[in-house]
Structure 1
């Protein structure tokens, strides 16, 4: 388990020189769409869980619905974000071939950030975030998910802040997404810092 300081501290190490988080042929999404919350998202999650469990068996230590689509009432990108916990995300031979067979393609590989990988699947659209059992990011996901679900006023503030960020970037909803990973990271830090003031 990660230590408390790991959970309460941001970890956004720079990309090592000469490397890219994206695999060849992949890159940042060029489109951002925010829609109203849908009951179908939880059904999509359950379908995806069945696919992942069926492919990996016991290699899937945990499968969790994370991100905005899990928080009832919160507007979100219509993409199901899932955290998949494996023993060692760097040991790709233990889970990658099986995931590829059920339609999850590798998009991001960040061994310098807790071994993080992102695999994408279409129909239903999903971003599968692979972490090790000792990653503090998984705990952060659980905390933010629970906090937003239990506090409607904070949830509404979070939704409003996201739309404000898009407006500051002159990036209306349903238009091309032109910001960089670094800018998204800064927005995330700013939003969480503001949320923390709600105590």
Structure 2
């Protein structure tokens, strides 16, 4: 019977071969890291965020709070974009608004690529937003009070109503600052680490294929 030519892979020899192939492994790793840096710098733009908080009068109800949230992203915002020559459909700065739970506070975020521009945008928006809020908040309060007066058959007129009804204004409790933290910085780091690990595996894979080819000769 013919003896079978069995090749045995020695783990220590394989590790030594990988060490000798460190230039290939290192080259693949550096190449993939370079590709990652090029890709993220080209496709992942910096993103910065600042925010304001506006507190509505305590007497407003949930309906008014929800209306204030919708108002923050409605026609007011579109008009403001147009005033600044921005395309409302593709603006340089995005606005995100939400109500803080169990409160009358509206939290508005501004996200863009230029910190100074975001700050200027937020300051101008804050003025327009609070002025608009004060108009419809007090109109709502007056209308609700008028309804209650009608239901109670009161003869009080509108001028007397405005004098007796304690009208309040929306209060800015947090102004926008100049953002300094790049929100996408972690995305760049994660992508570079992933591509670096991929390059390491690729280099090891190439080296192992070369090792197997040598022992199978």
Same fold (TM over 0.5): no
Tell me which of the two structures has the higher relative contact order, counting C-alpha pairs closer than 8 angstroms and 6 or more residues apart.
Answer: 2
Per the normalisation by structure 2, the TM-score is 0.27
Per the normalisation by structure 1, the TM-score is 0.29
Compare the two structures and name the one with the higher strand fraction: 1
Compare the two structures and name the one with the higher helix fraction: 2
